[in-house]
């Protein structure tokens, strides 16, 4: 009986994990959209050089791949 309970618990745990994984993938923005947003924000950072870094618009190139990704 105990083996059957743990087997059922394993099956249900796997089913819940699968459903959560499907939901996560369904609601993640596409990689291209993330890259576009990154490029826009780094470009805004580069264009706002007259402002001190702590008050600039955008993001610094924290990934270190702006030149590669944002051609």
Task: Note the pLDDT tens digit of each residue in 4-48.
Answer: 678 888 999 999 999 999 998 888 777 788 889 999 999 999 999
Tens-digit pLDDT profile for residues 51-67: 998 899 999 999 899 99
pLDDT of res. 43 = 95
H-type alpha helices, 1-71: 2-27, 31-47, 66-69
Residue among 34, 39, 29, 28 at smallest CA distance from 66: 39
Q: Where are the domains of the chain?
A: 2-69
User: CA–CA separation, 49 vs 14, rounded Å?
Assistant: 51
Residue written as token pair 């402002």: 51
pLDDT of res. 2 = 61
Residue written as token pair 């499907």: 22
pLDDT of res. 32 = 83
Under a CB-based contact definition with an 8 Å cutoff, are residues 61 and 44 in contact?
no
């Amino acid at each position: 009986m105990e083996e059957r309970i743990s087997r059922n618990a394993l099956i249900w745990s796997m089913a819940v994990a699968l459903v959560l994984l499907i939901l996560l993938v369904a609601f993640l923005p596409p990689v291209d959209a993330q890259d576009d947003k990154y490029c826009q924000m780094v470009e805004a950072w580069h264009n706002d050089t007259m402002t001190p870094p702590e008050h600039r618009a955008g993001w610094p190139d924290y990934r270190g791949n702006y030149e590669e990704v944002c051609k």
